[in-house]
Every structure is written in structure tokens, then in C-alpha cells.
Amino acid sequence: MTQQATTPQAGAPKGRKITMANAFGFGIGDFYGGGFGQIATYLPVFWVTFAGLAVDQATSIMGIATIVSAFAALIVGSLSDNFYKYRIGRKFGRRRFFLIAGIPVLLVTVIVWVPGLPVWLYFIGYALWIIANQLIMTPYSTLPTEMTTDFNGRTKLSTVRMFISGVTTAVIPLIMTAALTGLGEQHSYAYQVSMVGLILAFCIALFVCYKSTWELTPEEAGFDVKKIEEEAKQPFDFGKWLKGIGDVFVDYFSTLRIKSFRKHVLIYLLGQTFMDVFGQTWLFFVIYNWNKTAAFGSLLLSFALVGEPLKPVFGWLFTKLGPRKMYSLNFAGGIIGLLGLLGLWQAQGSLADGAWTTLAFVVTIWWLIFRAMVWFIPWNVFPFIPDVDEIVTGKNRTGVFSGFKAFTRKLTSGLATTFIGIYLASTGFIKPAKDASGVMQYPDQPVAAQNGIAFVCIGWVIIGLLIAWAIALTFKLDKKTDGILLAEIERLKNGGKKADVDPETKKVVEQLTGVKYEKCWPQAAE
């Protein structure tokens, strides 16, 4: 019977069954991933307040270091995909090895929390912080694809990961609120003690993740170990090495051939980059627009914890509604929350203090719930992107996709961070200074600077979400279409002919890949 006479069905999922213990062991790695972003919330304020840096200096250090380190993602992604070529990779894993390799790099980065250092040392420290993130998170993000092919299993892994990441983004502000309140936010050690302790906790979480996860074996990943060992005995060939470097860049930019990935990465970059913008300017907005303390702003962020019990609901909705409808729900709710934060600034003085504070908590909690979705949805979509590529190339290139995403993510984040400082400096922003008694004081900002902070923290983010929403409305990848892809990949792997493809399958393949079906699966013998 030909493929035309039957509806394709996905085969049995490959990989071990994903239990909640497996999902937690994997997800604990994103205790670091979620906590990583919190550094950008507190570090600019710390540098401007205690290290003597101007606002454009602080954000330029972060932005330029992020852009430079973006290239580390390209190296790590390709290296991770090919790490089984080396004995150390076959011993410790081509993905999981990098989880523990990043730990010593993380420990060095505590220098960014030391006041009074030269600007170049802050730059090096922050660059190492970002490079460690690439070293760890690029391979980490590929693990769901390798651990199982089951849609629900992958969703469980991603849901638990996002739950832990979300708890982290709530718990760290709560810790910082306690530290800033108890030790005094006018003192640098209030930041230092907390952040050094958190970095140590990140290292422990990464080790637990390494011990709790698995990946494809060299044979399952398509590596001929015997052939690799024989080639290793051959003398070094510079020309072959140079060609390999060129192939790496060709591989990365070939990801943009995949239509679903182009849309996915644009949605992802818009969401993540503008969440960075919000995070880096939030405390400035609270301190200088709302005239509240950094501890109050941190306390509000800690209420992201309220949304964490909803993560299983997000996962359930994701499997039922699919990405397109989830994105619409996400972006609409997020924009409403941002407008509410802006409205609270305008409402100061016209509301009683108690009513204003209550509204501040309600509106911020609303925003934080939808902000969590901005991270949650793309990372639930990503494990299915390599399936779309595999039907075109016949290869599992998860590391290449993860690396390219990380590269572009850091590139856009670095550019945005740099522009934040340049823009705010142009509005007449005044940096804090010590009073006669030596206590750090936050100055009143001119109206132009306050408007600038609000435009960046709220306005830029709304614009980014609106563009992402427009793209998401055209996104076609979901549970049903991914199942069709997997069934077709399995059929072709088992010797099925492309000429026998079901018309509906052909249509889905072309919609998702943006490539004519006849040009897909080049390995198939006709």
C-alpha cells in the first residue's frame, strides 16, 4: 500500500519515558538560566551607584560584552553537535559536558560585584559571565530533543524547566528585597553577599542537572566511533580544518532556510530582547518615575511566584491550543499589563497611597504572569524546530539551531543594552552621589530623563510585543503538524520513496519548511 492510501501516523516515541523526577533533574539547570537574567536587573544600578560608572558606561559595558560573547554561541553550538568526535565528549557527553565545564567560569565572574575596579576589569568579568551562559545554556537547551521524541514528554521537560526558571525569577528578587532592606540598599555589600551566594547555588544546580539527564549515544547521533578514532591517528590537515570552520558558518546560516525557524527566532528575539530591556530599566523606573525604593521594586518582581502554579496550566493550554493561539493570549495580556504600569506613574498624586500601592501589586502581578509566558512559549516550541529541519536535511542539528538562537539573542540583547544607556544619557540622566555623611542618595531626575526611562521600560517593550504578535499569527507548527513531520521522517528512514508522499503531508512539509518537498530529504534514494 502506498503512502497516498493512508494517513501518516507518528511512530512510537523514542528515548526513555520522561518521569517527573527526570523533568525536575533537567529543569533544575534552569535555576541558573532563570537566575542569569536577574543579574541584568541589579548590576546596572550597582555599577552606577557604587562603582562610579555613568549610566551609558554601565550599559555599554554590558552591551558590548554581550555582542562580543555572542560569537561564543556559534562556537559552542557547533562544538556541541560534533563533540563526540573527541574522546572527552564520548566520556562525558557532547551536551552535558558543557554544564560542568561552565562552573569554574561562573566562579570567576564574582569580580563584577567588587566596587572600585577599572572599567576594563568589569568588562572582562561581565564578558566571562555571558560566555559562561553560552557555554552552559546552548547545549542545555538541546537536551529535550535528545532525551525523547514524545511531544508530551518534551512538553513536560520544558514545562518543569520553565516552572523552575520562573520560581527563580521570583525567589531571587525576594532574596534581594530582604538583603536590600536588612543590610541597607545604600551599602554595596547588600548586593555583594546575595549575588555571591546565588552564583554558588547556580553551580550546585548545574552539577545536579548533569547527573540527572541523558542524551543520544554517539551511535544514535550518527557518529561512527571506529572511523573517528582511525581519523584521529592521521596527521593534522590545515586545509581540512579551515574547510571545517567554513562549514560551521554555512551550517549556522543555513538554519534560516527553514521557514518555521525564521518565524520562531524572530518571535523569540523580539520577546527575549525586550524582556531584557524591561529588566535592565525596571529599577530605574521604580526609583525615578514611581519615586519608590529599589527594595520595593525588587519586592514587586518577587511576586512572579504567584504565576508559577499556572505553569502546568500553560503547558496544558500549549498542548490544546497550540503556539499560535498561546502567543496571542500572551502578547495581548502583556501589553495590557505594561499599560497598567504606565498608568500607575500617571496616577501618582491622584490616588491615596494605600490604593496606589494595592494597584501596583495587582498590575505588576498581572504583568509578571504574562511576562512568564514570553519565556515559556518559545522554549516549548523550540524542541520541535529540529524536526522541521530534519525533513529537509536528514540530520539532527539541534545544537546548530540552539547555537544560532543564542548568537542572535546575545547580539540583539547587546545592541539593545548599549542603546539604552546612550538614549538615557541623552535625556539628561543624573547618576547617584554620596551626601555629606557619605550615604548614597538617588537624585531627582529631570522630566526628560523620567520620560526617557518610561519610554524605554514600557514603550519599547510594547512595540516589540506588537511586532512579535503579528509574526506569531502566521506560525503553523503545532502538535498535529509536528506529528505529520515525524511520521514522514520515519517513513523515509525506513526506505519509503518521496514519490509516494501523501498530498496532505507534502503540503504540511512545504508550509513548515518553506522548501519544495522534492528538495527535502536528500539522502532518500529514488
- CATH (domain of 145): 1.20.1250.20
Residue 509 lies in a domain: no
Same domain, 27 and 132: yes
Residue 513 lies in a domain: no
Q: What is the mean pLDDT of residues 32-46?
A: 78
Same domain, 247 and 205: no
Q: Collapsing DSSP states into helix, strand and coil, what is residue 93?
A: coil
pLDDT of residue 455: 94
Query: Which residues span the domain enclosing 311?
Result: 240-477
| Residue ending a domain, choose from 181, 200, 216 | 216
Stronger pLDDT, 269 or 66, i.e. the higher one: 269
Residue 318 lies in a domain: yes
Q: Is the pLDDT of residue 218 over 50?
A: yes
State how far the Cα of 109 lies from the Cα of 111, in Å rounded to an integer.
5
Q: How far apart are the first and last CA of the chain?
A: 17
Stated length of the chain:
526
Of the pLDDT bands very low, low, confident and very high (cuts 50, 70, 90), residue 241 is low
Instruction: For the beta carbon of residue 53, count every other beta carbon within 10 angstroms.
Output: 20
Same domain, 347 and 265: yes
Same domain, 185 and 268: no
pLDDT tens per residue across span 465-490: 999 999 999 998 888 888 888 888 88
Residue 485 lies in a domain: no
| Residue ending a domain, choose from 151, 181, 216 | 216
Stronger pLDDT, 295 or 14, i.e. the higher one: 295
State how far the Cα of 408 lies from the Cα of 403, in Å rounded to an integer.
9
Same domain, 326 and 444: yes
Strand partners, 15: 148
Residue 342 lies in a domain: yes
Mean pLDDT of the chain: 82
Residue 229 lies in a domain: no
Q: Collapsing DSSP states into helix, strand and coil, what is residue 526?
A: coil
Same domain, 90 and 157: yes
Q: Is the pLDDT of residue 86 over 80?
A: no
pTM summary value: 0.70
**What is the dihedral sign for C-alpha 291, 296, 298, 301?**
negative
Stronger pLDDT, 436 or 387, i.e. the higher one: 387
pLDDT of residue 225: 67
Of the pLDDT bands very low, low, confident and very high (cuts 50, 70, 90), residue 149 is confident
| Residue ending a domain, choose from 147, 182, 216 | 216
In order of 8, 46, 282, 456, the CA distances from 275 in angstroms are 40, 20, 10, 11
Q: What is the mean pLDDT of residues 267-290?
A: 90
Query: What's the half-sphere exposure (Cβ side, CA atoms, 13 Å) at 444?
Result: 2
What percent of the chain clears pLDDT 90, i.e. is strictly above it? 16
Q: Of the ranges 32-46, 84-98, 279-293, which is most confident?
A: 279-293
**What is the dihedral sign for C-alpha 355, 357, 358, 363?**
positive
Number of structural domains (the chain) is: 2
Q: Is the pLDDT of residue 438 over 70?
A: no
What percent of the chain clears pLDDT 70, i.e. is strictly above it? 89
pLDDT of residue 1: 33
Q: Is the pLDDT of residue 365 over 90?
A: yes
pLDDT of residue 8: 40
The residue type found at 279 is: G
Residue 225 lies in a domain: no
Same domain, 309 and 444: yes
Residue 503 lies in a domain: no
Q: Of the ranges 60-64, 173-177, 362-366, 413-417, which is most confident?
A: 362-366
